Chains A and B, each alone.
Chain A
Amino acid sequence: MNAQKTDQPDILPNLDLETPERPYLDSNELIINMGPQHPATHGVLRVILRLDGEKVLGTECVIGYLHRGVEKIAENRTYTMFNPYVDRMDYVAAVSNGLGYCQAVEKLLNVEAPPRANYIRVILTELNRIASHQLWLGTHALDIGAMTPLFYTFRDREEILKIFEKYCGARLTTHAFRIGGCLYETYAGFEKEVKNFLTFVAPNIDKYEELLTTNRIWLERTKNVGVISAADAIALGVTGPVLRASGVKWDIRKAQPYANYSEFDFEIPTGQNGDTYDRYLVRMAEMRQSLRIIEQAVNGMPEGPIMAKVPKVIKPAVGEIYHSIEAPKGELGYFIVSDGSTQPYRVRVRPPSFLNLQALDIMVRGLLVADVVAVIGTLDIVLGEVDR
């Protein structure tokens, strides 16, 4: 079915949507499988590569190995029971997933979390953003051959996980928030520990940069690799740091603020070239901005309740809602349809990784096989979220 090929949008004149399907290969061409069991695919991603020697002519992603039917599970659980499941999608940023889901249901119920709950939410979510970016940096650098950053980032990420563990008992799949606010009050010494973390990690982020930003090998591996223009990124629905590195200054925390992000002073880092190096710089800058947000939040924490008045049995009125947040990977949206019962009629998750991964094909065409690894790393996908 290749009708309407001439009907391409004007902004994408050269984007070839077809995977090359020819009956035979040139003598130089070969097709190889990368994954699903491959350490550099960050999970179980299978990429079918069509190569001319080392040059990539086209790719096809085969996904779904980690599909657990999260959206179907939701239809068979109550609103409250489904809450822990969302942590299992993007498991390196479970707090963000929980925030998006809780806020979507709150919107549907027409309640708002109390101010103190919002402060706790922002602090934990931003800590999680840093943890997610640290994990990305460590593994991405490891993929391209720089082993050292992994040890630094994992050492520092551990401190964040310790805070999570002390707060809610879990390190990874935290289930930190509840519909209507937070279940747990902060533990004694929470603010001090968060402040200690800020002073501890700020110079360490400089250290990561010292290792990489002007490193010649790093520059060779990332500059002008996997370039995506702003127009292509928008047309492909790419969001998050990948979009911002292409020069689009768009962050949902600023564009359509949720929780209490409008109270904080921070900037949206952007890049110009849309290459792997710019995406690296954008994420590094984002970690520093997150530190700024956490610092303001932890200093301005109000007293008060942490849970809004929410009925014991959550039964939203008939209707539907879409709510999205800026997760570490991009726009994470929840579209929830309520039929007035205790179980959601339909929950749709708009996963950022899924749509960012779709851009892999145009980003790697014409590059070398080794660059495919760099581009998969720079997209910062989590297969638990791609496959759901």
Chain B
Amino acid sequence: MTEEPKSPVSPPAADAAATAPPKPAAPAKPAGPVPVPWSSPMVEKYKRQYGSGLEAQSYLGQNYLTVDRSLIPDILRLLRDDDQFDYCVDITAAHYPKREKQFDVIWILYSFANNERMRVKAQIADGETLPSSVPIWVTANWLEREVYDMFGIKFDGHPDLKRILLPDGWKGHPLRKDYGILQQDQEWVQINLGIESGQ
């Protein structure tokens, strides 16, 4: 399968210096675009302040900061207060069971003033908690509840951290990669119908 190198679909907002993904160095492996460093006055400011705890990258014209867990929530607060990222679009996570720090937690932010989007990403281990961002964006309330419901990640200081989409008695957190999709069904059939599941 060969992918034709087309011009990237770049959102107009990004003020990143480089949006075009560089051509892959080795012609033998026509991999897709790769993340490129993202630099802007805002990023430089945070780099000076936090040093090695953060990495700024841009993939297909979308900017994101990968930050150390210890910088949360300070950096989120600064992003809202100083850089006008006043709208928290989404909070979500992804599970990588083979990694030592199993979870990526992702905040998607938007600034109305600058018409700019960015993401903040932090890695945490299973069982580790994160400070809640409800004091920063009220909208985080239900979003964090959903992350807890689906991944079992706990947020310290959340006003009412409980399951939101699944019933209270649900076992496990379904969006973890080690959660089999038939597991729940089989158990239900066994308990309620007293037979082995046919699936």
Instruction: Report yes or no: B137 in contact with A237, Cβ–Cβ below 8 A.
Output: yes
> CB within 8 A of B89: which of A2, A64, A321, A333?
A333
Would you call A346 an interface residue if the criterion is a C-beta within 8 Å of the partner chain's C-beta atoms?
A: yes
> CB within 8 A of B165: which of A17, A348, A387?
A387
Instruction: Report yes or no: B158 in contact with A1, Cβ–Cβ below 8 A.
Output: yes
> CB within 8 A of A9: which of B138, B167, B174?
B138
B8's nearest neighbour on chain A, judged by CB, is A110
Instruction: Report yes or no: A322 in contact with B165, Cβ–Cβ below 8 A.
Output: no
Within 8 A of B (CB), among A277-333: 309, 311, 313, 315-322, 324, 331, 333
> CB within 8 A of A358: which of B32, B62, B142, B175?
B142
Instruction: Report yes or no: A1 in contact with B4, Cβ–Cβ below 8 A.
Output: no
> CB within 8 A of B139: which of A69, A107, A236?
A236
Would you call A63 an interface residue if the criterion is a C-beta within 8 Å of the partner chain's C-beta atoms?
A: yes
Contact-residue size bin, chain A (C-beta under 8 Å from the other chain): 35 or more
> CB within 8 A of B108: which of A76, A110, A335, A354?
A335
Would you call A19 an interface residue if the criterion is a C-beta within 8 Å of the partner chain's C-beta atoms?
A: yes
Instruction: Report yes or no: A234 in contact with B87, Cβ–Cβ below 8 A.
Output: yes
Would you call B161 an interface residue if the criterion is a C-beta within 8 Å of the partner chain's C-beta atoms?
A: yes
Would you call A373 an interface residue if the criterion is a C-beta within 8 Å of the partner chain's C-beta atoms?
A: no
Instruction: Report yes or no: A335 in contact with B90, Cβ–Cβ below 8 A.
Output: yes
- B88 CB contacts on chain A under 8 angstroms: 237
Chain B proximity of A135: nearest CB distance (Å): 24
Name the residue in B3, B12, B141, B175 with the highest tally of chain A Cβ atoms < 10 Å from its Cβ.
B3
- A324 CB contacts on chain B under 8 angstroms: 89
> CB within 8 A of A321: which of B62, B132, B159, B181?
B62
> CB within 8 A of B86: which of A64, A234, A317, A322?
A234
Q: List 11 A-B contacts (CB under 8 A).
A: A64-B165, A71-B175, A108-B60, A109-B3, A110-B3, A110-B33, A234-B112, A237-B87, A250-B112, A255-B115, A322-B117
Beyond A1-B157, A15-B138, A107-B60, list 7 extra A-B contacts (CB 8 Å): A12-B138, A71-B175, A72-B179, A317-B3, A321-B59, A335-B108, A350-B90
